[in-house]
């Protein structure tokens, strides 16, 4: 048996000439983050058969996913600088979205996939023209790279090597004249395979297969005027590099704020090798929990006196990575949780300067005629757990004076990050890891010393680099 964590999600971006509402259903899976992006284009005046132009185009392209006539003609041996430049661009998009999606009473946690959203908006930008294209590429921070699309395509190939699956498909409705250049580039850069759009069941079946059966019933019904759907799925499977032991997972308090707390299942690791540091100036604690295969779960936990939203705004993932020190053995506490998140991203994207997508965009590179984005539905989930760990020498946790504690027991920001490119596959804010549990009044955790160090008398706090985030047993 082994401990696991899992993420999955879905995003639905709809482009229409009449109102439409998309439905997203997400189910959790075993240590496998997935996010699905659905781009629907609708327009009036549909015909009953495939247009001659698209019929010829479809017949010349593969429909079974076994081959592709459009191979990316570039060397994918990207430099580290180039990889991290793209990772930084994707991170900036994700952090700006996160800043515009604040947790609230109905949804106390936010979970996004910056990678999947970047892929979907980048594919949309292929068919955008004039100001619409400029705004999309600006939001994507494509100006950071001279060959943005080629590098993005290469990154997909390199991530696939790390058990990160990226799958795309184009569904075409009979009678829709899709421009050949858009379709060819979508296949070349995003591996979007063209397939006739026949039924919602066919779409859902492909989605399940693309995410290893972890996203089911993605759509309940096809919108009546849909003519094209661009579907993008991102799926990650991995396991912790250092295992937790399920036998010592126990109930513990998670402090939502200074007055309230909730009980959660807290995973624990005795002498867990952890890389972490405290930034006193920004008031944050940062730790990296590595997976196998150069992907990590990055935790950024603000001090009790700091604002969570401000901490998210000031984050720079690459800078955090550069500052992470060598691992040291620590007693680690990490909450076990399963969270789901649904949100229309239209307002957030509008705040980021993409409001014209929802009013009068120029998408003439996709097809002739007016096309409008009606909404961007995003749904995702994250599950952090252990199914049981390989038996270890210790079956209980004993505090010793020389072992510090890093306890994730108050609101935090997380990112699932590719260690090489620093690309955030998933990004979120957790203010209550157990939202279905009863929230109880509690004493101020800072007053109790829960969130501060309790250093032994023979070790001055200001002499220890981790003094702000360690607990010690003073009785031994």
Residue with tokens 């259903």: 25
User: Is the distance from CB of 82 to CB of 151 less than 8 angstroms?
Assistant: yes
**pLDDT at residue number 131:** 96
**pLDDT for 93 beyond 80:** yes
Helix ranges, 211-288 (H)? none
Where do the H-state alpha helices sit in 106-243? 114-126, 130-139, 148-160, 180-190, 200-210
Burial class (CB in 10 A: 0-12, 13-18, 19+), 406: buried
Q: Is the dihedral of CA 317, 337, 330, 294 positive or negative?
A: negative
State the DSSP code for 84: H
For the record, the structure tokens of 31 come out as 């240590």
Using only C-alpha atoms, what is the Rg of the chain? 24
Q: Look at 232 and 395; give whichever has higher pLDDT.
A: 232
- DSSP-assigned letter for residue 439: P
pLDDT at 207 over 80: no
Mean pLDDT of 274-284: 93
- In this structure, the number of other CB atoms found within 10 A of the CB of residue 34 comes to 31
Are 404 and 419 a contacting pair, CB within 8 Å?
no
Handedness of CA 420, 424, 428, 429 (dihedral sign): positive
**Closest alpha carbon to 381 in 19, 3, 29:** 29
Give the tens place of pLDDT for each residue, 408-466.
999 999 999 999 999 999 899 999 999 989 999 877 665 455 544 433 233 333 333 33
> The tokens 């919602």 sit on which residue?
200
Asked if pLDDT for residue 70 goes beyond 70, the answer is no
- Residues with Cβ within 8 Å of 158's Cβ and at least 6 positions away in sequence, in order, are 76, 78, 83, 420, 421
């Amino acid at each position: 048996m082994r401990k696991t964590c899992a993420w999955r999600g879905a995003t639905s971006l709809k482009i229409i000439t009449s109102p439409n509402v998309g439905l997203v259903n997400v189910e959790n899976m075993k240590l496998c983050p997935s996010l699905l992006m659905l781009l629907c284009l609708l327009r009036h005046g549909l015909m009953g058969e495939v247009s001659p132009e698209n019929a010829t185009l479809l017949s010349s392209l593969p429909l079974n996913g076994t081959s592709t006539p459009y191979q990316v003609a570039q060397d994918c041996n990207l430099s580290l600088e180039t990889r991290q430049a793209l990772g930084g661009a994707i991170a900036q998009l994700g952090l700006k979205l996160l800043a515009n999606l604040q947790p609230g009473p109905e949804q106390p946690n936010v979970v996004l996939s910056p990678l999947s959203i970047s892929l979907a908006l980048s594919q949309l930008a292929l068919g955008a023209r004039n100001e619409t294209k400029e705004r999309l590429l600006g939001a994507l921070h494509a100006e950071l790279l001279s060959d943005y699309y080629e590098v993005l395509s290469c990154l997909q190939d390199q991530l696939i090597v790390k058990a990160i699956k990226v799958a795309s498909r184009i569904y075409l409705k009979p009678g829709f004249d899709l421009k050949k250049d858009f379709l060819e580039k979508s296949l070349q850069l995003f591996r979007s395979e063209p397939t006739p759009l026949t039924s919602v069941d066919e779409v859902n079946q492909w989605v399940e297969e693309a995410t290893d059966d972890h996203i089911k019933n993605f759509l309940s019904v096809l919108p009546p005027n849909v003519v094209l759907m661009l579907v993008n799925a991102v799926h990650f499977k991995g396991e912790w590099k250092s295992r937790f032991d399920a036998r010592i997972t126990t109930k513990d308090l998670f402090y939502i704020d200074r007055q309230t707390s909730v009980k959660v299942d807290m995973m624990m690791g005795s002498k867990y090798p952890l890389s972490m540091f405290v930034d006193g100036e920004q008031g944050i604690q940062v730790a990296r929990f590595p997976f196998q295969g150069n992907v990590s779960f990055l935790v950024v936990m603000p001090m009790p006196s700091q604002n969570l939203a401000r901490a998210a705004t000031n984050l720079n993932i690459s800078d955090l990575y550069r500052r992470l020190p060598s691992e040291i053995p620590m007693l680690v506490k990490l909450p076990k949780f399963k969270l789901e998140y649904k949100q229309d991203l239209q307002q957030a994207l509008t705040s980021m300067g993409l409001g014209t997508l929802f009013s009068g965009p120029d998408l003439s590179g996709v097809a002739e005629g007016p096309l409008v984005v009606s909404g961007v539905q995003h749904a995702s989930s994250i599950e952090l757990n252990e199914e049981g760990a390989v038996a270890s020498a210790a079956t209980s946790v004993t505090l010793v004076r020389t072992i510090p504690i890093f306890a994730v027991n108050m609101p935090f920001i997380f990112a699932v990050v590719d260690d090489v490119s620093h690309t955030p596959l998933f990004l979120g804010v957790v203010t209550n890891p157990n939202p279905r549990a009863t929230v109880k009044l509690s004493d101020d955790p800072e007053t109790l010393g829960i969130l501060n160090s309790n250093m032994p008398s023979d070790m001055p706090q200001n002499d220890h680099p981790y003094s702000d985030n360690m607990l010690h047993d003073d009785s031994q």
